[in-house]
Chains A and B, each alone.
Chain A
Amino acid sequence: MTASGIGWYGVALAIIGGALRVSTPYLFVSLGEVLTEKSGRVNLGLEGILLMGAMTGFAVGSLSGSPWLGVLAAGGAGALLGLLHAGICNLPRVNDIAVGIALFLFGMGLAFYLGKPFIAPRAAMLPALQLGAWSNEPAVRAALEISPLFLIGIALAIALRWGLANTRWGLVLRMAGESADAARALGYSVNAIRTLATMCGGFLGGIGGAFLSLYYPGNWNEGLSSGQGLMAIALVIFARWNPLRCLWASLLFGGASALGPALQTVGVTSGYYLYSAAPYVLTLALLVYSSSTRHTLAGAPSELSISR
């Protein structure tokens, strides 16, 4: 590996590069989850949506030859699964967390079922932006090779942060999440708002999946996702329901999951699996630290079933 040539400096570089590369799916699923949770519902099924998105994106990308069409189709598949989640949650007395688990199992099964014929071929990949072209060091260039989807994600995080705080749409969405009664009193349909929010969240989750299959690691197989979709819910708590903080949290989680492979390049191989658990330990520690029996988590929408 190139990193071993430049020693520990290379490890830091590999972590930064890993963070830039690995964080994109985290970013998209967490933004999708923020949108859903701000409307007052939890979608624990983003893992299933992510996998369906990855499969659809890869299939459409390899059949049509256009990776961007694949990204769009992945978003569409995610939105459809989001609609399924919302449709069931709109029924009375249905637990949204349980529906999320069901959607996770269903989406995973469906993706593996429909994606079986696509395991062998390679699709047209998304292009990469060479931000490190100024450097002669190959490690630097490898680390700074980023996906355009990452930039889109950053723009989206900023746009969502602004939109939730400053637009009429954002206000209505937050109202549905803070007080369903208030939204109803103003004549809005809470179920319609939440359905729309879950579908948009599913769209973003599907794009996160397309990143996995069309950019990095850039293929389709059944071990593609390492639980990025399930992490979304933890990331959102970590980011305290703020889209901009989702960006930092995603970078942090991306960096943490790049820790193991980066240390491996300099010969530290013993605790590989333990390092891979770093994001989960981090989230749990944060939850234990910031939770309290007396008040809900700071920033949590009050209609949320996990904050009641």
Chain B
Amino acid sequence: MPSSSDSAVDQQPLTKLPAAPWSRQLSLASAPAYAAALESACLSIGALVVALVLFGIFVAVGGHDPLAVYGALYLGAFGTRFSIEGALTQASPIILTALCTAVPARVGLLVIGGEGALVLGGLCAVLCATASAGAPGWIGALVALLGGTCAGAAWIGAVGALKQWRGVNETISSLLLNYIAIALFNHLISGPIRDFSQTLKATSWPVPPAFGIGSIPGWSVHWGLVIGIGLCIVLFVVLRYTTLGFSMDILGGNRRAAQVAGLPIGRLLIVACLIGGGAAGLAGAIEVLAVHGAASESLIVGFGYTGILVAFLARQNPLAVIPVALLVGGISASGGLLQRRFDMPDATTQVLEGLIFICVLASSAFAGRIRWLAR
């Protein structure tokens, strides 16, 4: 086409104008949907491998044989039936606390309040179980689980509400709420609801034994794991195949686009926080009903913070949370074996988890650069 004046360009038919960019856009959009999933899986696995190599160098510097340590890690995590059961029991609360970060992340919020929601969920489960003492077992358990879920949902829901109505940064408010929840928890279990027959450490009133959550038949793993996995699958389907999930993804991708499309932004933010907080609260309730039988400081062991790691490693995908939580749960569970066999400090697995987290975040710099995977 010969070069012409501006008015001549204006009169060009629209279909001819931006041919090149549009066709590129189309080819990207028509690329298989699993390309992105494949890419994030590759990035996560690559980050994991790099972290393991760095960890190997780290233990080698400390004078241990890295291969033997890897072997012990595997053995302690997944090597025997006993260790698999340990890994699954560890993974159960982590799956749920990971959702507390993963679901709000879909609408673009970075919530790190899983620890506080878990602690309050456990506390509320004790209160609900005590209030419904005398009821049939399954009703009491259900009330306690629901109570824990509601407490967690309200706690993180408040984070979303503060974000929407007051513009309070959600990361900072959820961090502060962690400390407030733990203080509230410690206050109640060391005074108002303390079981004074337990002298070793401050423990709340016990949950009636009839309300306890039992084990899966044939395994020494409690039913909480099944609840967590089920919730992950449900959330995956909801986030992927419903209008609600689609709206959340739009909001998370581009807030202005969501505004223009007329989506109820405030409601979406708060619903995402309610779901996430509810999951973490449920984790606390399950821990109380299935493992501890009462609320004590054994509930505050950092499941909330490990959940953040799992959510990032799973790239905020509820379905990917399940295997990642199993992996991280296995690493946590193998700490004891490392300690016994190599006389390593119990913080060894924490170092590995920290390394994994750092590598995963660094790997997000390479997102979109390995598109050849899709072809």
Contacts and interface: CB of A to CB of B under 8 A. Distances in A.
Interface in A89-140: 91-95, 97-99, 101-113, 116
Interface stretch (A18-26, A200-208, A242-250, A284-292): A284-292
B345 A277 contact: no
Interface residues on B, range: 35 or more
Nearest to A92: B365
B168 A274 contact: no
B112 interface: yes
Contacts of A306: 169, 171-172
B365 A113 contact: no
A182 interface: no
A93 B183 contact: no
Interface string B340-375: 000011111111111101101110110100000000
A283 interface: yes
Contacts of B186: 273
A94 B344 CA distance: 33
B345 A113 contact: yes
Given A95-B110, A287-B168, A106 B364 contact: no
A166 interface: no
Interface stretch (A64-72, A184-192, A210-218, A227-235): A227-235
Given A95-B110, A98-B110, A106 B358 contact: yes
B329 to A, nearest CB: 16
A230 B179 CA distance: 10
A102 B173 CA distance: 18
Contact of B183 (A110, A276, A284, A288): A276
B167 A292 contact: yes
Contact of B166 (A237, A283, A291): A291
B305 A105 contact: yes
Given A113-B351, A274-B187, A292 B180 contact: no
Contacts, number: 139
A110 B344 CA distance: 12
A109 B110 contact: no
Given A113-B347, A274-B187, A306-B171, A284 B177 contact: yes
Contact of B353 (A95, A105, A237, A272): A105
A91 B191 contact: no
A102 B354 contact: yes
B358 A103 contact: yes
Contacts of B187: 271-274
B358 A99 contact: yes
A280 B344 CA distance: 35
Contacts of B357: 101-102, 105-106
Contact of A88 (B177, B358, B367): B358
A233 B112 CA distance: 14
A291 B167 contact: yes
Interface string B157-184: 0000010111111011101110110011
Contacts of B309: 102, 105
Contacts of B348: 109, 113
B132 interface: no
Interface in B319-354: 344-354
B367 A110 contact: no
A99 B308 CA distance: 11
Determine which residue in A92, A99, A106, A270 has the highest number of CB atoms from chain B within 10 A of its CB, and name it.
A106
Contact of B351 (A101, A110, A292): A110
B312 interface: yes
B233 to A, nearest CB: 26
A24 B28 CA distance: 55
Contacts of A91: 362, 365
Interface of A: 44, 84, 88, 91-95, 97-99, 101-113, 116, 222, 227, 230, 233-234, 237, 270-274, 276-277, 280-281, 283-284, 287-288, 291-294, 306-307
15 contacts: A44-B175, A94-B365, A102-B354, A103-B358, A105-B305, A106-B357, A109-B347, A109-B348, A109-B351, A113-B350, A277-B184, A288-B166, A291-B167, A291-B168, A293-B164
The 3 closest A-B pairs by CB, nearest first: A106-B354, A109-B350, A277-B183
Given A234-B176, A306-B169, A306-B171, 20 more contacts: A92-B365, A94-B364, A98-B110, A103-B358, A105-B357, A107-B354, A112-B347, A116-B347, A230-B175, A234-B172, A234-B175, A237-B172, A273-B184, A273-B187, A277-B179, A284-B173, A292-B166, A292-B167, A293-B164, A293-B167
